[in-house]
Chain A
Amino acid sequence: MTTLESSPERTAGRRPGALGVSVARKEDERLLRGDGQFTDDVDPARVLYMAVARCPYPHARIVRVDTSAAERLEGVQHVLSGPEVQRLSEPLGVLRPVPGAPRLPYYALAQDVATHEGQPVVSIVATSRHLAEDALELVDVEYQPLPHVVDVLAALEPDAPVLHPSVLGSNLLASNSDGRGDPAARFAEADVVVEGRFRIGRVTALPMETRGVVAQWRPGARELTVHCSTQVPHLIRKQLAESLRLRESEVRAIASDVGGGFGLKLGVFPEDVLACLHAMALHRPVKWSEDRGEHFRASTHGRESVHDYRIAADADGRILAMTDVYATDIGGWNSPFGSAQLSSVVFNGPYKVEDGYTERRVTLTNKTPVGAYRGYGQPEVNFAYERLMDRLARRLRMDPVELRARNMLKPADLPWVNPAGAVYDSGDYERCLRMAAERIGWAEHRAAPRRPRADGRLVGIGFSSFVERTGYASSRFLAKRGSQFGAHESITLRANRSGGIDAYTGVSTIGQSSETAFAQLVAEVFGTDYDAVTVHVGDTAASPLNTGSFASRTMIAAAGAIREASEQLARKTLRLAAFRLEVQPEELEIAGPLVRHRTEPGVAVPLAEVYSAAITGQGIPPGEDPGLEATSHFEPSDAAYSFGTAAALVAVDPETGEFGVERFVLVHDAGTVVNPKIVDGQVRGALAQGFGAALTEELRYDAETGQLVNGSMVDYFPPTAADLPPVELLHTEVPSPVTPFGIRGVGEVGTIPPGAAIANAICEALADHGVELDSLPVTPEKVWRALTSDKGVEQW
């Protein structure tokens, strides 16, 4: 198996902890001892527990709420229902609004109408969680069920029940488009047109730690301390302050360890506001830990969209135009983080297309809101265009690898502006494609395809090439979209008298190894030992204002801030040391625990002494300020695009449709790599989620009742250790010109190509049977149906 980690030339002769070395993680010691501090582990004295009554219908008017019996139960301390919440708080904020969408007033508890199953209706605080949950049974709510719609396309029909009639005349929350050139003219003159409707299932991020919050209010100090499981502490602080009508300085948000986020833990959720309202009313700490059943219905979902995609090409396989008109399901409300808009940004994938058009229709349905989920729109559109690339190849009787290569942007074409206005920075897309084809054995397979094996199975190989936007554009760009956040990261570095550096960051520890990677960069730029750097995360009271961990953006943006702050700190350190050693600063360098003379071995001073001198102000040059601390903020000039190609080898039983992914190759470019082990780990983890969404994961709603029918871990199937296909990872390293050190993001890439690569492999194996797959997840049943029915199947 090839991984970044295993290429020895990368790391030869480098210091432990230096940039590019797989140093052991800072996070691991506490987590392996069971000494992490996840939100549910926070247990203040006199804490009370919250439980939430939720609407059992997809759409219902709340006629009457009677909480008197619940209030009488012994141990119950406080009850909130809709009107009180409206009186005490503002609607929840939306961090990343859908452009052009009206604001739907989403209060922490439903007001007159609930628009999805699981929407909070009443919340109760009691002396134990058991009692709070007992009290839920005593809450009497009279609902008048209203007509519902759970299918995204049905929701757009003129006769569909409208979810928010006081704000909107239909369920189209917003629609908008991007385009360039004259795609209609290109389609008219094309030799070949392929098109299809592709459906991508609704999934859940399913972090192993559910959401949770612990709120404490000190009225005299006007200080609300909120521990919560979030990827964005500073943004939570802002949103909570707004909802609770507090000043930002009155709120402190702390996210200690976070048991996975994957985009779900962005933004503020109703329960966060509710716990704070109770705590403020009671002057006692209030804790809520989401149970898994609630998680399935009340935390945002991911994906779900329908893409009508078209490609026009000439007889040589040159693509003339690509268009994607798609509907994404956003569920019952504006979610904290909008919906899958990124599909449009990368809709043409890695292919050079001057004429293109993309249009999105963000649609309301009576389901749990859809928010960000790892990859955020990119796996969806990749499935559509990569399925069609294979179909185009078949129409033209071309090798699908050659077809892709012919249309890919070449290094010389980059930077390049795509029809949606995205600027692809740099890369060698074709190299990844060729490497994947070579590794999977495409040439040999292509020479003799579709001969049944001894076990009767047919083997197919499928490819999926992609670009992935990593980072979050610029704050200027975001301002135009109404985003409530910017694009920068920040860091504070502070020397201490033990000879170490404390680094303070507002990102939380969600598994992406920021503590480790940040310390590596500080050590690299400043010159001290990795072990001398301690990273403190996720406390808004201690860290400079930042953006947070999402969109594979943390490292890209933070690297610039870390470099700047480390250099500042190093410059002052050298000046102070030079004063002590009576030499010039330029003659000195920082090396591990010392500042030493570059050429005279005997001349050196321990860092700890320099730090002490700075902190006490005793023994520093006249005119120099005491203290040794630096804060920097950095915004990358633009997003950096990761890219790559995946190849899947799949064996299919043409009788039953049952199949197995026998090999999966991913060739990927993340630019300059800070820590190869972490990069491999991120890619593998995302791939597992990609395989889940490609093969087994789908949240299903019953059209008749509007109920989520598989809202538990007993009947929703994320992959286990026994389920995953073997993965071969290969990397290239083309530095990005738009980010510090040339880093590209890595967090989401693995979610993008599995669906298309696996479906393409199955369709290739079953090409003689005319099988087409057009929806995710791909299941044996779907393959069998495609084999046995010719309805809706295009014959080649």
Chain B
Amino acid sequence: MNVEVETMVNGKLVHASVPARLHVADFLRQHLGLTGTHVGCEQGSCGMCTVMVDGEAVKSCLMLACQLDGRHVRTVESLAEDDRLSPLQQAFKEEHALQCGFCSPGFLMTATALAYQGKRPCRAEIREEIAGVLCRCTGYENVVTAIERWFAEHPQGAREDETADGARTA
């Protein structure tokens, strides 16, 4: 059974007819070709599939594509501007916050959602906030450092980034 969906993805309006049982991660990956959103468990435990929906970090394997109707989605593909990594991505690069990089989209979108909600977490809070995303390579230390540094150096940038593509609910 298919369902009609109209949603805003990375600032672009998308109409689609999708199977009712299709989850958002598969919708993004298979229907829209946005393969930066990864799938690691399909049960909400690993955080690989984390995207931002209406400003909140959401595990996109736990949400159905048809539930996106009328909502705004942001994926990792929206962060960099043309040739330039966003300051958050740049902080990840400089702090060596990734190894295989499979988890990185999950962390980037979790941090982006924190900033969007106006949070300014301290180091210990960052650890708690990102605990929904697993990483098997880095031991997290550098991920925490990168996010901490981004909050410290770009308190404004983080916010502006969020509004740029109309991700706020209209």
Most buried by A among B45, B94, B98, B136: B136
Q: A259-B100, A681-B138 are in contact. List 14 more A-B contacts (CB 8 A).
A: A25-B93, A32-B76, A33-B79, A38-B35, A260-B102, A289-B39, A510-B100, A511-B99, A685-B136, A686-B139, A688-B136, A712-B41, A718-B136, A722-B127
How many pairs of residues, A versus B, come closer than 8 Å at their CB atoms?
175
Q: Which residues on the B side are within 8 Å of A721 (C-beta)?
A: 126-128, 130-131, 133, 135, 140, 143-144
Can you list 17 residue pairs at the A/B interface with Cβ under 8 Å? A22-B96, A29-B85, A32-B79, A33-B85, A34-B34, A34-B35, A208-B103, A209-B100, A259-B100, A260-B136, A292-B41, A681-B96, A681-B142, A686-B139, A712-B45, A721-B128, A724-B141
A-chain residues with CB within 8 Å of residue B104 when the two chains form the complex: 31-32, 34
**Quick check: is A316 within 8 A (CB to CB) of the other chain?**
no
Q: Are B89 and A208 in contact (CB under 8 A)?
A: no
B93–A24 CB distance below 8 A: yes
CB of A76 within 8 A of chain B?
A: no
- Evaluate contact between A688 and B140: CB separation under 8 angstroms: yes
A429 to chain B, nearest CB (A): 24
Q: Are A714 and B100 in contact (CB under 8 A)?
A: no
Inter-chain contact B43/A724, CB cutoff 8 Å: no
Give 1 or 0 for each of B38-74: 1 = CB within 8 Å of chain A CB: 1111110110100000000000000000000000000
| Residue on B nearest A31 in the bound complex, by CB | B101
A41 to B25, CA, bound (A): 12
- Is residue B80 contacting chain A, with contact meaning CB distance below 8 A? yes
Whether B40 contacts A41 by the Cβ 8 Å rule is no
Q: Are A720 and B134 in contact (CB under 8 A)?
A: yes
Report chain B residues within 8 Å CB of A722.
127-128, 131
A618–chain B nearest beta-carbon distance, Å: 35
Given the known interface contacts A28-B98, A33-B85, A721-B140, the answer about A208 and B46 at a Cβ–Cβ threshold of 8 Å is: yes
List chain A residues, Cβ under 8 A from B89. 32-33
Please state if A713 and B101 are interface contacts (CB–CB under 8 Å). no
B111 → chain A closest CB, angstroms = 12
Please give the residue numbers on chain A whose beta carbons come within 8 Å of chain B beta carbons, in ascending order: 22, 24-25, 27-29, 31-36, 38, 40-41, 43, 130, 205-210, 257-260, 262, 289, 291-292, 509-513, 677-678, 680-682, 684-689, 712-714, 718, 720-724, 727, 750
Q: In the complex, what distance in Å separates the CA atom of A206 from the CA atom of B40?
A: 10
Q: Considering only CB atoms, which chain A residue lies closest to B128 in the complex?
A: A722
Whether B100 contacts A258 by the Cβ 8 Å rule is yes
- Which residues of B lie under 8 Å from residue A208 when comparing CB positions? 38, 40, 46, 48, 100, 102-103, 134-137
Contact status of A32 and B92, CB under 8 A, knowing A130-B21, A291-B42, A292-B41: yes
List of A residues within 8 angstroms of B103 by Cβ: 208
Specify the chain B residue showing the minimal Cβ separation from A262.
Answer: B136
Q: Are B77 and A34 in contact (CB under 8 A)?
A: yes
Contact between chains at B136 and A713 (CB < 8 Å): no
Nearest CB in chain B to that of A718: its residue: B134
- CB pair B98–A32 under 8 Å, yes or no, is yes
Chain A, Cβ-Cβ closest to B94: A24
CB pair B139–A684 under 8 Å, yes or no, is yes
A207-B136 in contact (CB<8A): yes
Residue of B nearest to A38 (CB): B102
Interface residues in B, total, Cβ within 8 A: 56
Question: In the complex, what's the smallest C-beta–C-beta distance from B97 to chain A, in angstroms?
Answer: 9
Closest 5 CB pairs of A and B: A34-B36, A31-B101, A259-B102, A511-B100, A511-B99
Complex alpha-carbon distance, A210 and B43, angstroms: 14
The answer to the question of B112 belonging to the interface, with a C-beta cut-off of 8 Å to chain A, is no
Q: Is B7 an interface residue (CB 8 A)?
A: no
Partner of A713, one of B19, B46, B100, B140: B46
Q: Are A27 and B101 in contact (CB under 8 A)?
A: yes
* A786 to B147 Cα, complex, angstroms: 41
Q: Which residues of B contact A (CB under 8 A)?
A: 19, 21, 29-30, 33-43, 45-46, 48, 75-77, 79-80, 85, 89, 92-94, 96, 98-105, 108, 126-128, 130-144
Residue of B nearest to A29 (CB): B85
**Binding site of A, secondary structure by majority: helix, strand, loop or mixed?**
loop
Residue of B nearest to A207 (CB): B136
- In the complex where A34-B34, A130-B19, A688-B139 touch, is A28 in contact with B101 (Cβ < 8 A)? yes
In the bound complex, CA of A681 to CA of B21 (Å): 40
Task: Tell whether, in the assembled complex, residue B139 and residue A724 are in contact, meaning their CB atoms are under 8 Å apart.
Answer: yes
Chain A neighbourhood of B144, CB < 8 A = 721
Pick the contact of A512 from B98, B99, B127 — CB < 8 Å? B99
Write out the residue numbers on chain B whose beta carbons fall within 8 Å of the beta carbon of A714: 43, 45
**Alpha-carbon distance A36/B38, docked complex (angstroms):** 11
Min CB distance, B1 to chain A, in Å? 12
Q: Say whether A33 contacts B100, CB under 8 Å.
A: no
B99 — nearest CB in chain A belongs to which residue? A511
A678 to B131, CA, bound (A): 23
Query: A209-B38, A681-B96, A722-B128 are contacts. A32–B85 as well, Cβ < 8 Å?
Result: yes
Complex Cα–Cα for A678 and B97 (A): 10
When chains A and B are docked, how far (Å) is the Cα of A41 from the Cα of B43? 20
Given contacts A207-B136, A684-B138, A724-B140, contact A35 B100 (CB under 8 A): no
Q: Are A25 and B100 in contact (CB under 8 A)?
A: no
CA distance A29 to B92 in the complex (A): 10
Q: How far is the CA of A689 from the CA of B99 in the complex (A)?
A: 14
Residues of A within 8 A of B29 (CB): 40-41
Cα separation A677 to B146 with both chains bound (whole Å): 14
Inter-subunit contact B101/A511 (CB<8 Å): yes
Q: Whole-angstrom distance between the alpha carbons of A721 and B148 in the complex?
A: 13
B100 CB contacts on chain A under 8 angstroms: 31, 207-209, 257-260, 509-511
Closest to A261 in B: B100
How far is B136's CA from A512's CA once the two chains are assembled, in angstroms?
12
Known: A511-B101, A718-B136. A32 touches B108 (CB 8 A): yes
- Which B residues are in CB contact (< 8 Å) with A509? 100
Q: How far is B98's CA from A143's CA once the two chains are assembled, in angstroms?
A: 45
Which residue in chain B gives the minimum CB-CB distance to A716? Answer: B45
- Is there an interface contact between A511 and B137, defined as CB atoms closer than 8 Å? yes
A292-B42 in contact (CB<8A): yes
Which residue of the partner chain A has the closest CB to B19?
A130
- A25 to B95 CA separation, bound complex (whole angstroms): 10
CA separation between A381 and B85, bound complex, in Å? 45
**B92 contact from A22, A28, A43, A258, Cβ within 8 A:** A28
Max chain B CB contacts within 10 Å: which of A40, A292, A681, A721? Answer: A721
Judge whether B136 and A34 touch: CB under 8 Å: no
In the complex, what distance in Å separates the CA atom of A713 from the CA atom of B42?
Answer: 10
Select from chain B the residue with minimum beta-carbon distance to A713: B45
Q: Which residue of A lies closest to B109 (CB)?
A: A34
Query: A33 and B99 in contact (CB under 8 A), knowing A292-B41, A724-B140?
Result: no
- Min CB distance, A439 to chain B, in Å? 17
Residues of A within 8 A of B46 (CB): 208, 292, 713
How far is A712 from B101 in the complex, measured between Cα atoms in Å?
Answer: 22
Instruction: Write the nearest CB–CB distance from A662 to chain B, whole angstroms.
Output: 15
Residues of B within 8 A of A22 (CB): 96
Shortest Cβ gap from A516 to chain B (Å): 10
Kindly state the separation between the CA atoms of A209 and B5 in the bound complex, as whole angstroms. Answer: 29
Identify which of A31, A509, A681 gathers the most chain B CB atoms within 10 Å of its CB: A31
Q: Is the CB of A713 within 8 A of B43?
A: yes
Min distance, Cβ A264 to any Cβ of chain B, angstroms: 10
